[in-house]
Amino acid sequence: LTGGDHVAIVGAGFSGTMLAVQLLQRGGGRVTLIERGPEAGRGLAYGAADPIHLLNVCAAGMSAFPDRPDDFARFAQASGWAASGTGFAPRRLYGDYLQARMKDAAAAAGGRFTLLRHAARDIRGDDERLVLALDDGLELGCDSAVLALGNPPPAAPPGIDSEALGADIYRADPWAAGATDGLGPDDPVLIIGTGLTMIDMALLLERSGSKGPILALSRRGLMPRPHAEPVSYEARSQAPRARGAALLQAFRHRADAIGWRQAVDELRPFTQNMWRRAPNNERRRFLRHLRPWWDVHRHRLAPQLHARIMAMVESGRLEVAAGKLLGAKRSDGRAQVRWRRRGSDVVECFAAARIINCTGPEGLLRNSSEPLLRNLAARGAVRPGSCGIGLDVDEAARVIDGEGQANPRLFALGPLTRGTFWEISAVPDIRLQVEALAVRLTA
């Protein structure tokens, strides 16, 4: 690409917004950022968050720029947020930060930046140029396009018929506004999933004054572990050599020696390469058996939120159970939920006034309901990443088509590239990917 080129970025969450900022700051051509949601610059995680929702990475780890590690901590302190870099800031404050950085970069870039409030529905093109089809029949020509579509809503869990339950009972998308609206103070709530989104919902229910019982259910009933004060240790300087079961054993020894948090954290610089070099059957085994354990240790919770959740568990308000949802039928304005604890044959019933699907983003491309991805997949312009997750991309973030050819003009960033890189859903990983792509596009 040359300095006069035009880059269109679809999605203005962290990934798309920070790519726009980096491109504008590095000079070069025009940048158009396309966002269909109500606010550009925040995305799913830092947009609709309630004040009670905190970042799950400490402030010192959340700079949007790899080469300015204290950028967010400084912004937070200048905004009146009192805690130190090891504290966990509100997610909304992080959205303010991203928007501030976007505004600064746009102001300094003169007329090179355009923000379009539209949904992108398709991208066509040839070796010379791309054309994005937007809603309202608009078209946008560009030299290259970047898909930064982020985290899609969760898939419907087995045993749930959303139409039969009705939208007043079943909330398919926990991130859409109002997942807990309309509940009476004693209404029982079933949360499907026991990860970070379940924590968000339980905290929201507690803050909104609800006193009814909450049942949180997942196959293993595993909850995110809390962060702890950082300790100093000598982190490994090379990726582990072992693979499969031997790797797991080596990891356990290391956790015994230096603590599990450190054993997880020291792998971070190597995780993407470990995933990439693992054969497909090993990746599948990881997804089936280890992923739930990895997720709760890897993506941890601010200690103060963990304490609040444990208080809810101890008081009996919140039950976190390992089990299987067998079915849910609507009757008298409630869902009669049948479920079974893991390892038990006894079928239990729970009458829920609300069921909230917190099973996590649907990662499989073939299940995507996103029109843009469906259109691209239908024409073979994209293909699924490893294990069917997200989009296949190469090291340079170029999207790979159905015939295995990397498209030099179409790129993807962030959680959409999880099948290829695995560890690419949090800011400390995405900011590196964003910077690398910005450097490439402005070289």
Residue numbers at the binding site for ligand FAD (CB under 6 A): 10-16, 34-37, 43-45, 55-57, 119-120, 148-151, 372, 414-415, 425-427
Compute the least distance from the CB of residue 223 to ligand FAD, in Å: 16
For the chain, what's the residue count? Answer: 443
Sign of the Cα torsion 194, 426, 134, 384 reads negative
Smaller CB separation from ligand FAD, 13 or 85 = 13
Smaller CB separation from ligand FAD, 20 or 400 = 20
Whether 223 contacts 321, CB under 8 Å = no
Compute the least distance from the CB of residue 97 to ligand FAD, in Å: 12
Compute the least distance from the CB of residue 293 to ligand FAD, in Å: 19
Distances (CA, A) of 424 to 26, 57, 222, 268, 272: 23, 14, 22, 10, 8
Smaller CB separation from ligand FAD, 21 or 120 = 120
Smaller CB separation from ligand FAD, 41 or 384 = 41
Compute the least distance from the CB of residue 236 to ligand FAD, in Å: 22
H helix and E strand count, the chain: 15, 16
Compute the least distance from the CB of residue 328 to ligand FAD, in Å: 24
Smaller CB separation from ligand FAD, 157 or 415 = 415
Q: Give the Cα separation of 216 and 358 in Å (integer).
A: 9
Write the DSSP assignment of 310-355 as a string of letters: HHHHHTTSEEEEEEEEEEEEEETTEEEEEEEETT---EEEEEESEE
Sign of the Cα torsion 289, 159, 53, 188 reads negative
Q: Give the Cα separation of 58 and 81 in Å (integer).
A: 13
Sign of the Cα torsion 90, 95, 101, 103 reads negative
Smaller CB separation from ligand FAD, 335 or 424 = 424
Smaller CB separation from ligand FAD, 134 or 328 = 134
Compute the least distance from the CB of residue 29 to ligand FAD, in Å: 21
Those residues whose C-beta lies under 8 Å from the C-beta of residue 110, and which sit 6 or more positions away, are none
Compute the least distance from the CB of residue 54 to ligand FAD, in Å: 7
Tell which residue, 194, 219, 195, 171, has the closest CA to residue 355. 171
Compute the least distance from the CB of residue 380 to ligand FAD, in Å: 19
Tell which residue, 23, 54, 5, 127, has the closest CA to residue 413. 23
Smaller CB separation from ligand FAD, 263 or 302 = 302
